[in-house]
Structures are given as C-alpha cells and as structure tokens.
C-alpha cells in the first residue's frame, strides 16, 4: 500500500496548494470537472443571525430524563416524582436535580429550553430527526442509513459555501452514534453523496492524537507530495482503476483530505490532546466522553464550523456490558435511578460544566453556539418493563416534552424558555421542535433559513423547515 506519511522537519503547504495538488492530480487523469454548487441563498434573518462562527453540539444519546435532571417535579405523585431532590441553581427560582451541582452552579451561563417536543418514539429515527431537522420516512423505527436519507446539518454546510480554513466543515467526535450496535441514520451526506459525509473520530481517549496514524512526524514538503501523487497516478493508470466516475470522485475526495491533513501541522495539532495539560485533561475527565468534549473544544478553536460530540456512543450498551460504564447510554427503561446516579449524570455534569467554563474563559462562547440535547426525553410514569433487563423500574421513551440547553453566540444567560405540566410530560408554553433547533443553527451561522440546495434530481430543498428560536436572544 502506498503511504503518504514520512517524517519531515520543514513541511508546510498551504490550503490552496493542497487542494490544487490533490484535485489536479485526480481530475487530470479522469477528465472530470467538479459539479458547481447549486444553492440559492435566502433572505430571511431572525434574532441571533450570524452570531456564531461555529456550532458545538453535545448529543446525550438515548434520551435524557427531563424529570430526573433539567425539569424536576418535586410535587408530582410518587409514581412520577424523581428520587433525586431538586437543588437551587445560580438562577433564582430555577432548580435542577441533586446530581447536577456543577451545571446548577453555572446555570447563569446558559438557557434551558424545557418545551421541546415531537412525535417520534424510537432512537434511530428520532436521532435522525435531531441530526437533520426532518422526520424519517419510517417514523418511530431504527432504520439503517440509506443514500436517499436527508443530509445531516454538517453535510449541508459542506455543500454551501461556508467559510472555513479547516478541511472538514463537520466532525463527529466519539461517533457515529450507535443504535445500539449499528450506526443510526441522519449522520451522513445522504442524498448529497458520500463526499458530504462528516469526518468521524471514534474514541479520542485511545491515543494522544485522535486520528490513528496521524502525527507531527508525518508532515510532507510540497516537492515530496508532488512526487508521491505522480507515482500514484502512474500506478492508477497502469491498473486502469479509474473507470467509474463516481469512484474517481470518491477517491479524489479522500486523497484531497489526506493530503491536506498531512501538509498542515495546525490541523494535526487540532487533534492532538497531548498538547493539553494533564490538569485540563483531568478536569474534563479522562474517560471517553470527557476527552471527546475536550477534543470538541479544540476543533472549535481550529475553526471547524460544526462539531457534534456524541457524548454516549451507544444509546443502550448496558445490556451487553452492565459493569462497563463506558457502554452506558441514556436509554434507561429499567434501573433508571441507579444508572443515572452511578453511571451517567455525574460524568455528564462534570464534563459539560468544565466545557462551558473552559469555553467561556477562552472567549469561545462569544462566537460558538453550544447545544446540549437528546433525541427525546423519558415518560413521567415510573414502571418496570419486562422486555428490558434490570430489576427496578425505569421510564419509557417520551417525545411530548423534553429539555435541551444552549449557550454562547448571543444566547441569553440564566434563562428558562417554556414549561411543562405538573407531571413533566406535556408542554404547556412555548413549544419547539427539532426543526426549529436546526433553523436556529443555520440562522446563527449566518445562513438564511430560506436558503435552498438541490438534490441529485435537481429538486430544490430548503436547508430547514423550521423557524429559529428567537426567544433565546434579547431582541
């Protein structure tokens, strides 16, 4: 196998040279031209428009329980009320539950939306809705990814002319999200094609540099890069491997991305957690989700427009590994209180508190929209489900009401939007849905929500069908 990695002390090729090297090499062989972008920019602008340079999503996979975390109901009946006591946050009159002391202490830095709702009740299709802002054609199901899927938010950003000095417009850290063992839909380029897939970084706690094989010793000088590309082209011609244009385009994309990574010490550094102090790594937590959030912050600093940290890589891995904390997801059908208290909430509270404080101290919250979310919430009723392992009661999937949190890029600090009923199961004011959150993302990044792109059949599609959540901002 040809390798493009070789130690070199000086190497520095800029972004424009990199893309020229890779694309010229591949396209000259194939005789192909790149398709022009077919996007029509809209005109609608809402509160918060253009406030963000980047978006960082923390996706709590499996469905967090709003009643046991963000929206406690201490006066609900026994069969609904959490065993966790409410605690006062930094915002007068706002309470979280007792295993969230860190987030409670910084509640004056973000806004909680307690009135999210939709109609999808299974992980695969509900996560698809969260990642794309659109319902899957198979509602409440766990379908595999398909080429006809709607593209993920980051994939649309790659299609649009979004300004970025980083070779990827979107990176999924600790991904893809598994349901529970196979990748779920909505995380890919879908009908825009594989060339619009995000970069997936799996477990960043495995090594100092999060991408295997990438190191500061692999940077190549321009002359070396040209020589190796020419050699590869000769071998490709000899073996006649460029017969199918789609394969040519895909190979061109992969080589272009590889060339750019190998030519940039800055890009390699973005993935290098070893550049962080031991104290900072410990503060985030040396476990998988902690280091994933730390890498997410580094990628935001490097200029990636959209970073999605999958906080729990599987929605429910505890069935197969009940003693492995890294395998736990938020899908707590049974043993909910033990799972939340022992495995899930303390890590989440520690890591996300550190992340928000760290980004605030570095000034990153000024230009980064941070979103903390799940695909849905949990049911008010506490009951044991015989189809799931565990000896104690839990809560079923629930999409009629759940909570998310947002910070940065002009979002109000110390606010609560929306409310649920006395059982925490129904929205009573200010109902919002995932498509509104998607619209909020595009609007924050300075992309009008009535912007359209075209699919392979040349049909115009809007980037979102929702309306930005203007209540997040002081208008």
**pLDDT at residue 266, rounded to an integer:** 79
**pLDDT at residue 206, rounded to an integer:** 79
Mean pLDDT for the chain overall: 86
Can you name the residues that pair with 111 across neighbouring β-strands? 406, 415
Length of the chain measured in residues = 475
466, pLDDT greater than 50: yes
> Distance (Å, rounded) from C-alpha 69 to C-alpha 63?
12
**pLDDT at residue 9, rounded to an integer:** 34
- The pair of three-digit structure tokens given for residue 291, joined into one six-digit string: 């280091």
Distant-in-sequence, close-in-space partners of 409: CB < 8 Å, separation ≥ 6: 48, 51, 52, 365, 366, 367, 368, 369, 444
Q: Report the SS3 class of residue 472.
A: helix
> Distance (Å, rounded) from C-alpha 127 to C-alpha 310?
11
185, pLDDT greater than 90: yes
**pLDDT at residue 62, rounded to an integer:** 98
> Distance (Å, rounded) from C-alpha 139 to C-alpha 141?
6
Give the DSSP letter of residue 125: H
Residue from 33, 71, 42 nearest 428 by CA: 71
Residue ranges of E strands in 245-335: 306-310
Look at 57-71, 202-216, 359-373, 420-434 and tell me which has the smallest mean pLDDT.
202-216
What tens digit of pLDDT does each residue of 256-295 get? 665 566 556 778 889 999 999 999 999 999 999 999 999 9
**pLDDT at residue 246, rounded to an integer:** 59
20, pLDDT greater than 50: no
Per-position DSSP letters for 381-431, written without gaps between them: S-B--TTS--SS-B--EE-SSEEEEEESTTPPSSEEE-EE-TTS-SEEES-
What tens digit of pLDDT does each residue of 53-69 get? 999 999 999 999 999 99
**pLDDT at residue 231, rounded to an integer:** 64
Indicate the pLDDT class of residue 30, thresholds 50, 70 and 90. Answer: very low
Average of per-residue pLDDT across 216-242: 56
Give the DSSP letter of residue 34: P
Look at 29-43, 218-232, 361-375 and tell me which has the smallest mean pLDDT.
29-43
Is residue 442 within 8 A of residue 133, CB to CB? The reply is: no
**pLDDT at residue 360, rounded to an integer:** 98
Is residue 312 within 8 A of residue 175, CB to CB? The reply is: no
Average of per-residue pLDDT across 240-245: 53
Going by DSSP bridges, is the β-strand pair 452-454/39-40 parallel, antiparallel, or unpaired? antiparallel
**pLDDT at residue 224, rounded to an integer:** 59
> Distance (Å, rounded) from C-alpha 179 to C-alpha 13?
40
Look at 212-221, 262-271, 346-355, 382-391 and tell me which has the smallest mean pLDDT.
212-221
- The pair of three-digit structure tokens given for residue 85, joined into one six-digit string: 């006591």
What tens digit of pLDDT does each residue of 341-379 get? 999 999 999 999 999 999 999 999 999 999 999 999 999
Look at 32-36, 130-134, 293-297, 313-317 and tell me which has the smallest mean pLDDT.
32-36
159, pLDDT greater than 50: yes
Q: Interior CA angle at 261 toward 14 and 301, to 5°?
A: 85
- The pair of three-digit structure tokens given for residue 49, joined into one six-digit string: 């428009």
Going by DSSP bridges, is the β-strand pair 170-173/306-310 parallel, antiparallel, or unpaired? parallel
Indicate the pLDDT class of residue 36, thresholds 50, 70 and 90. Answer: very low
Q: Is the dihedral of CA 116, 117, 121, 125 positive or negative?
A: negative
> Distance (Å, rounded) from C-alpha 7 to C-alpha 15?
20
Indicate the pLDDT class of residue 4, thresholds 50, 70 and 90. Answer: very low
5, pLDDT greater than 90: no
- The pair of three-digit structure tokens given for residue 241, joined into one six-digit string: 């491997």
Distant-in-sequence, close-in-space partners of 36: CB < 8 Å, separation ≥ 6: none
**pLDDT at residue 37, rounded to an integer:** 42
21, pLDDT greater than 90: no
Is residue 131 within 8 A of residue 187, CB to CB? The reply is: yes
**pLDDT at residue 141, rounded to an integer:** 97
Distant-in-sequence, close-in-space partners of 122: CB < 8 Å, separation ≥ 6: 140, 141, 142, 397
What are the CA-CA distances from residue 290 to residues 98, 294, 354 (Å)? 21, 6, 9
> Distance (Å, rounded) from C-alpha 27 to C-alpha 424?
57
Indicate the pLDDT class of residue 414, thresholds 50, 70 and 90. Answer: very high
Domains and CATH numbers, the chain: 15-44+220-263 (no CATH), 48-218+266-469 (3.40.720.10)
Measured between alpha carbons, how far apart are the two ends of the chain, in Å? 57
> Distance (Å, rounded) from C-alpha 42 to C-alpha 239?
46
- Ramachandran assignment for 213, one of left (phi > 0), alpha (psi -120 to 50 degrees), beta (any other): left
Indicate the pLDDT class of residue 167, thresholds 50, 70 and 90. Answer: confident
213, pLDDT greater than 90: no
> Distance (Å, rounded) from C-alpha 32 to C-alpha 243?
12
> Distance (Å, rounded) from C-alpha 286 to C-alpha 437?
31
The arrangement of strands across the sheet holding 39-40 comes to 39-40, 452-454, 460-462
22, pLDDT greater than 50: no
Pairwise pLDDT comparison (140 vs 5), residue with the higher score:
140
Indicate the pLDDT class of residue 255, thresholds 50, 70 and 90. Answer: low
> Distance (Å, rounded) from C-alpha 247 to C-alpha 268?
27
Residue from 92, 310, 268, 291 nearest 167 by CA: 268
29, pLDDT greater than 90: no
């Amino acid at each position: 196998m040809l390798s493009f990695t070789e130690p070199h002390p000086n190497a520095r090729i800029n972004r424009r040279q990199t893309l020229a090297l890779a694309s010229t090499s591949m396209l000259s062989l194939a005789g192909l031209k790149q398709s022009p972008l077919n996007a029509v920019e809209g005109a609608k602008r809402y509160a918060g428009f253009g406030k963000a340079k980047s978006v960082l999503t923390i996706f709590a996979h499996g469905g967090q329980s709003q009643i046991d975390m963000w929206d406690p109901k201490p006066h609900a009946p026994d069969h609904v009320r959490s065993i966790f006591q409410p605690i006062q946050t930094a915002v007068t009159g706002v309470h979280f539950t007792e295993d969230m002391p860190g987030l409670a202490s910084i509640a004056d830095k973000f806004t909680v939306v307690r009135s999210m709702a939709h109609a999808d009740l299974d992980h695969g299709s509900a996560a698809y809705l969260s990642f794309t802002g659109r319902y899957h054609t198979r509602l409440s199901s766990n379908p595999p990814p398909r080429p006809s899927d709607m593209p993920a938010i980051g994939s649309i950003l790659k299609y649009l002319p979004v300004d970025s000095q980083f070779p990827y417009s979107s990176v999924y850290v600790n991904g893809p999200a598994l349901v529970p063992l196979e990748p779920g839909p909505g995380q890919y380029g879908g009908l825009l094609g594989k060339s619009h897939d995000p970069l997936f970084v799996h477990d960043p706690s495995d090594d100092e540099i999060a991408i295997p094989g990438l190191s500061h010793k692999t940077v190549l000088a321009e002359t070396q890069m040209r020589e190796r590309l020419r050699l590869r082209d000769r071998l490709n011609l000899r073996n006649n491997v460029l017969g199918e244009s789609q394969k040519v385009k895909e190979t061109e994309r992969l080589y272009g991305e590889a060339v750019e990574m190998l030519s940039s010490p800055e890009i390699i550094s973005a993935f290098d957690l070893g550049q962080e102090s031991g104290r900072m790594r410990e503060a985030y937590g040396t476990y998988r989700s902690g280091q994933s959030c730390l890498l997410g912050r580094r990628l935001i600093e490097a200029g990636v427009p959209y970073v999605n940290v999958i906080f729990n890589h599987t929605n429910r891995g505890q069935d197969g590994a009940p003693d492995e904390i890294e395998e736990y997801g938020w899908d707590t059908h049974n043993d909910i209180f033990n799972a939340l208290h022992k495995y899930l909430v303390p890590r989440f509270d520690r890591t996300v508190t550190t992340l928000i404080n760290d980004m605030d101290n570095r000034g990153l919250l000024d230009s980064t929209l941070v979103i903390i979310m799940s695909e849905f919430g949990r049911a008010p009723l506490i009951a044991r489900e015989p189809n799931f392992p565990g000896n104690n009661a839990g809560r079923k999937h629930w999409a009629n009401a759940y909570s998310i949190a947002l910070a940065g890029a002009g979002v109000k600090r110390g606010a609560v939007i929306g409310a649920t009923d006395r059982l925490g199961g129904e929205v009573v004011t200010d109902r919002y849905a995932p498509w509104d959150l998607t619209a909020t993302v595009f609007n924050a990044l300075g992309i009008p929500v009535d912007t359209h792109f075209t699919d392979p059949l040349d049909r115009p599609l809007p980037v979102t069908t929702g309306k930005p959540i203007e209540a997040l901002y002081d208008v």
